[in-house]
Amino acid sequence: MRHPNDKKTLDVCEMDLAGPVPPKPTAKELAIARAARFKARHGVKALTVNLPAELHARFDAWAAEKGKSKSDVIAKLIESQLLRKR
């Protein structure tokens, strides 16, 4: 503590040694960061495909029946059908 008449010495409570506190990220920001780390770690990129509703339902049913991931199926089809050597 300091003497009440002492105007030159700073009070301990007035000094901010740590600096400003950064704001905490929201849940959405944390999820975005986690997805970005996953994509960077595994070297994957997102691809959006628009399908007719009937075809999408049939594809969902087929993937569930076979127990395969839709991403793996699409990747295999692109490699074997579109990017194959001719």
Ranges of each domain in the chain = 45-86
CA pair distance 69, 64, nearest whole angstrom: 8
| HSE (side-chain half, CA atoms, 13 Å) at 43 | 0
Instruction: Encode pLDDT of 20-79 as tens digits.
Output: 888 999 999 999 999 999 999 999 998 899 999 999 999 999 999 999 999 999 999 999
Q: Running DSSP on this structure, what letter comes out for residue 12?
A: G
Go through the chain and tell me how many residues it has: 86
**Cβ 73 vs Cβ 63: under 8 Å:** yes
Radius of gyration of the chain (CA): 29
Q: In the structure, what pLDDT confidence band is assigned to residue 9 with cuts at 50, 70 and 90?
A: confident
